[in-house]
Amino acid sequence: MLKYKAYFNCQQTKENARCSQMPPKNDPMSLRSGKAGIAEKIVGNADRDVVFSVRILGESRDNLKQHFHDFIRAELEERDINFGDHPLLLPFIETHGHELTEFVTTGVALEHQLSLREFEKLAGDPMKLFRVDLWDSLSDHIEKAEAQFVSGIGGLRNILAAVAEERALQKSKGDDA
């Protein structure tokens, strides 16, 4: 069973108390322990939390999506709604075709899963080398995700500054009225 800790770093002032729930940097239970720590936690829970499932890709997925586009068109035509009747009909068909495709592929994926233990047994991996590969892959992808987020922080700051500027402008317009 996992144990959860709550952290509160507070600075008391006369007006208010400011608190954050960020754990200390040296806490081993913290996500700040890095990509290796979280990858190890995930692999440690792999028997319970990792599954292999069917995923429909490529031409088969395209065929399924095309089937739903054709199905939606036929159903609309049966109800006297023709392709040229409205400019948003094509985006409607594409959006709903995508949603129906996702529904089918997700349903199939949920119904056809193997646990990590079952996969290791079928693959003949008694040394559990797949877990090492999984750890490496998790660690690499976590590092890439963190780098991607950090690279976008400047853009987020610009957006937040623009929002603050717009709010100040709106407030000044409201004060002038």
| Residues 78 and 39 both lie in one domain | no
**pLDDT score, position 177:** 63
Q: Is residue 84 part of a domain?
A: yes
Burial class (CB in 10 A: 0-12, 13-18, 19+), 116: buried
| Residues 108 and 71 both lie in one domain | yes
pLDDT of residue 3 exceeding 50: no
**pLDDT score, position 16:** 41
What mean pLDDT comes out for the span 103-115?
A: 93
φ, ψ at 115 (rounded to 5°): -75, 165
Q: Is residue 133 part of a domain?
A: no
**pLDDT score, position 12:** 38
Domain of 39 in residue numbering reads as 8-44
Prediction pTM value:
0.55
| Residues 39 and 77 both lie in one domain | no
**pLDDT score, position 173:** 86
Q: Kindly report, residue by residue over 16-57, the tens digit of the pLDDT.
A: 444 333 444 455 445 446 778 898 999 999 999 999 999 999
| Residues 72 and 23 both lie in one domain | no
Dist. CA 128–CA 136, nearest whole Å: 13
Q: Kindly report, residue by residue over 73-82, the tens digit of the pLDDT.
A: 999 999 888 8
Q: Is residue 2 part of a domain?
A: no
Q: Kindly report, residue by residue over 50-81, the tens digit of the pLDDT.
A: 999 999 999 999 999 999 999 999 999 998 88
* Comparison of pLDDT for 62 and 159, the residue scoring more: 62
pLDDT of residue 9 exceeding 50: no
- Please report the DSSP string for the chain in residue order: --------EEEE-SS-EEEE-PPPTT-TTSGGG-HHHHHHHHHHTHHHH-EEE----HHHHHHHHHHHHHHHHHHHHHTT--TTS-TTHHHHHHHHHHHHHHHHHHHHHHHSEEEHHHHHHHHT-TT-HHHHHHHHHHHHHHHHHHHHHHHHHHHHHHHHHHHHHHHHHHHHHHHH-
What mean pLDDT comes out for the span 155-177?
A: 84
* Comparison of pLDDT for 84 and 19, the residue scoring more: 84
Tally the domains of the chain: 2
Q: Is residue 176 part of a domain?
A: no
Q: Kindly report, residue by residue over 111-130, the tens digit of the pLDDT.
A: 999 898 898 888 898 788 88
Question: Across the chain, what does the average pLDDT equal?
Answer: 80
| Residues 78 and 118 both lie in one domain | yes
